[in-house]
């Protein structure tokens, strides 16, 4: 059983997102280590890109800072390897846009990700129809599929049936960002996805509080928390301590 499958033996799971390089490389490694060791079941590790089309202003600003401080794909993978050296054992899934990966070289990116200790990939701007080349390079490392409320039923079935690892279900239309309330009809949306697959379904976009994470955990197999995580930690004078507290609060709520 791989690390992703192991994580889902105790559902629902808490999955924070944090970009490497923000506010600097060393601090981001410390932050992700703190998240991992204080209740996160899986971390979505952000690779920064200059045109993050799926992300809202909080994550855009964080990834821009990371780029200004010199983060690269190569440095990001070295950071993942450092996290493994520090004893982080939970799954680390790399979230990055396609252009930097193409520039790096797909086979080299997968090989170096595997060597660093990554467990899978999220590429929000790579549609199913154009993903064969990457999936061939990735082999047994899953490319996590994304679905949204606007996904047509026929396409939802096609994507869900081919999905591996888990499904990233976008709860709202639009970009990332915490919302004051969860999307209406979320439970029905999760149920529709589950009609087509037996793999876990995790909900992201719009989860801003531990209470919302708990509510999502009652409907889905996991809650993905990005903007609220980046905002709480990035706005703190003690980011590592804030990361530990954030993970404890959300993990305690969802479990």
- The torsion angles phi and psi of 212, rounded to 5 degrees, stand at -65, -40
Q: Which residues pair with 223 in a beta bridge?
A: 14, 203
- Active-site entry in 24, 26, 30, 55: 55
Alpha carbon 158 to chain centroid distance? Answer: 22
Q: Is the peptide bond before 12 cis (omega within 30 degrees of 0)?
A: yes
- Active-site entry in 41, 44, 112, 119: 44
* Catalytic (active site) residue 44: yes
Answer for the pair 217, 223: CB distance below 8 angstroms, yes or no: yes
Which residue's entry shows tokens 């990116």?
109
54-61 contacts, C-beta under 8 A, 24 or more apart: 54/124, 54/125, 54/175, 54/176, 55/175, 55/176, 56/174, 56/175, 56/176, 56/177, 56/227, 57/177, 58/176, 58/177, 58/227, 58/230, 58/231, 58/234, 59/17, 59/19, 59/176, 59/226, 59/227, 59/230
Catalytic residues: 44, 55
């Amino acid at each position: 059983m791989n690390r992703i499958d192991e994580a889902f033996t105790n559902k629902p799971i808490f999955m924070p997102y944090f970009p490497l390089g923000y506010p600097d490389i060393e601090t981001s490694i410390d932050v992700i280590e703190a998240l991992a060791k204080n209740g996160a079941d899986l971390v979505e590790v952000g690779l920064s890109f200059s045109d993050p089309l799926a992300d809202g202003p909080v994550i855009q600003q964080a990834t821009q800072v990371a780029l200004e401080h010199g983060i690269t794909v190569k440095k990001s993978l070295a950071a993942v390897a450092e996290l493994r050296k520090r004893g982080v054992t939970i799954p680390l899934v790399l979230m990055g846009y396609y252009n930097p990966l193409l520039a790096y070289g797909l086979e080299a990116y997968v090989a170096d990700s595997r060597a660093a200790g990554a467990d899978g990939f999220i590429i929000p701007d790579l549609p199913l129809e154009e993903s064969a080349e990457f999936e061939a390079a990735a082999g047994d490392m899953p490319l996590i599929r994304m679905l949204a409320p606007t996904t047509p039923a026929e396409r939802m079935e096609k994507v869900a049936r081919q999905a591996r690892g888990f499904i990233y279900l976008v709860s709202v239309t639009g970009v990332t960002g915490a919302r004051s309330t969860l999307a209406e009809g979320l439970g029905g949306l999760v149920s529709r996805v589950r009609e087509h697959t037996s793999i876990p379904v995790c909900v992201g976009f719009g989860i801003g509080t531990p209470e919302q994470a708990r509510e999502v955990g009652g409907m889905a197999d996991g809650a993905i928390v990005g903007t609220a995580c980046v905002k709480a930690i990035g706005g703190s004078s003690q980011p590592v301590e804030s990361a530990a507290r954030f993970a404890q609060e959300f993990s305690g709520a969802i479990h």
